[in-house]
């Protein structure tokens, strides 16, 4: 084990794992390093009073990101 690090296991959606592998290949950073960087960024934003960019509102659905374009096409934008 590396000094000052704790080993853990996370579960990702397939799309998240695919994006993480792709970013890792593009940047040459390990997947673990990218995850640590994302956590550090999230914590830095929180420490500076920035609101989280996820989980702020409850839409009642779990597929909003996948269906956003359809919703905008049928319901309109800003109506």
| pLDDT tens digit sequence for 44-67 | 888 887 665 666 566 666 776 777
Rounded Cα distance, 14 and 8, in Å = 19
Identify the pLDDT of residue 78: 61
Its pTM surpasses 0.75: no
Rounded Cα distance, 67 and 12, in Å = 20
For the cut 80, the answer to whether the pLDDT of residue 72 exceeds it is no
pLDDT tens profile 20-40: 999 999 999 999 999 999 999
Identify the pLDDT of residue 46: 84
């Amino acid at each position: 084990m590396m000094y000052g690090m704790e080993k853990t296991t996370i579960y990702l959606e397939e799309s998240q794992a695919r994006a993480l592998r792709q970013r890792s290949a593009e940047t040459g950073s390990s997947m673990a390093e990218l995850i640590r960087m994302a956590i550090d960024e999230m914590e830095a934003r929180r420490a500076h009073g920035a609101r989280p960019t996820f989980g702020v509102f409850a839409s009642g659905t779990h597929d909003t990101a996948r269906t956003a374009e359809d919703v905008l096409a049928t319901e309109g934008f800003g109506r």
